[in-house]
C-alpha cells in the first residue's frame, strides 16, 4: 500500500526543493500555501466555465503557478534549476489582458464581486493573487527569491483576473457590473 504521508514534518518543519528544511510557518511556506490556495480556487472556477478556451487558459495559469511554486520552494543551490517564470511569461499575460480589454469597458470605480458564480471565483482568485504578490515581495526583499519576474508575473496575473472577471460578467449576464458606489445620475 502506498502511503500519503511521510511523518517528516511532524515536528513542525518541512523540506524545500533541495537539502534545506524550514519551519512550517516560514514565509516560504506561507507563500506556497497561498499559491496552492490560488490554484484550488482557479480549479473551482475552471469547473464552472463552459467555454473550452477559458478552461484551457485556466489550466495554463494553474500549470504556471506550479512552476512558480517550485521556484519559491527551491533552496538556494537549486534556485536556477527551477527558475521558469521569465519575461515571456509576463508578456503572455499582458497580451491576454490586452486581448480582453478590447472587449470590455473599464469601470469608473470599484465593482462588487458576485454577478455570477464564475466571475465571483475569479474575483477571489484575484484577491488571493494579491496576497501571494505581497508574500513574494517580502521574500524578494529578504533575498530569498531573486527572480524579479515572479513578482511582476503575479502583478500581471491579478490584473488579468480583474479583466477576466469583467469579461465573464459581460458574457454571462450581458450587463455592466454592479458598482460599489451608486452613480449620482
121-159 pLDDT tens trace: 999 999 999 999 999 999 999 999 999 999 999 999 999
For domain 22-173, the CATH superfamily is Cobalamin adenosyltransferase-like (1.20.1200.10)
The pLDDT of 21-33, averaged and rounded, is: 84
Of residues 63 and 181, more confidence is placed in: 63
Query: Above pLDDT 70, what percent of the chain?
Result: 95
- List, in order, residues 6 or more apart from 169 with CB less than 8 Å away: 115, 116, 119, 175, 176, 177
Helices assigned H by DSSP within 49-75: 52-73
34-50 pLDDT tens trace: 999 999 999 999 999 99
The pLDDT of 83-112, averaged and rounded, is: 93
Domain boundaries, the chain: 22-173
Q: Where are the beta strands (DSSP E) in 5-132?
A: 13-15, 21-23
Dist. CA 57–CA 74, nearest whole Å: 26
pLDDT of residue 73: 93
**What grid cell was written down for 161?**
483576473
Answer whether residue 8 shows pLDDT above 80: no
The DSSP 8-state label assigned to residue 94 in this structure reads H
Neighbours of 121 (CB within 10 A): 23
Amino acid at each position: 500500500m502506498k502511503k500519503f504521508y511521510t511523518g517528516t514534518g511532524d515536528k513542525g518543519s518541512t523540506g524545500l526543493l533541495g537539502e534545506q528544511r524550514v519551519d512550517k510557518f516560514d514565509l516560504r511556506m506561507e507563500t506556497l500555501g497561498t499559491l496552492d490556495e490560488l490554484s484550488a480556487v482557479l480549479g473551482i472556477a475552471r469547473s464552472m466555465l463552459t467555454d473550452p478556451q477559458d478552461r484551457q487558459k485556466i489550466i495554463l495559469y494553474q500549470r504556471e503557478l506550479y512552476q512558480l511554486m517550485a521556484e519559491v520552494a527551491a533552496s538556494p543551490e537549486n534556485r536556477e534549476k527551477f527558475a521558469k517564470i521569465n519575461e515571456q511569461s509576463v508578456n503572455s499575460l499582458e497580451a491576454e489582458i490586452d486581448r480582453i480589454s478590447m472587449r470590455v469597458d473599464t469601470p469608473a470605480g470599484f465593482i462588487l464581486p458576485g454577478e455570477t458564480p464564475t466571475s465571483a471565483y475569479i474575483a477571489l482568485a484575484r484577491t488571493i493573487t494579491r496576497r501571494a504578490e505581497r508574500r513574494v515581495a517580502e521574500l524578494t526583499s529578504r533575498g530569498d527569491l531573486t527572480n524579479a519576474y515572479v513578482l511582476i508575473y503575479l502583478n500581471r496575473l491579478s490584473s488579468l483576473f480583474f479583466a477576466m472577471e469583467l469579461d465573464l460578467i459581460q458574457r454571462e449576464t450581458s450587463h455592466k457590473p454592479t458598482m460599489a458606489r451608486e452613480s449620482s445620475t
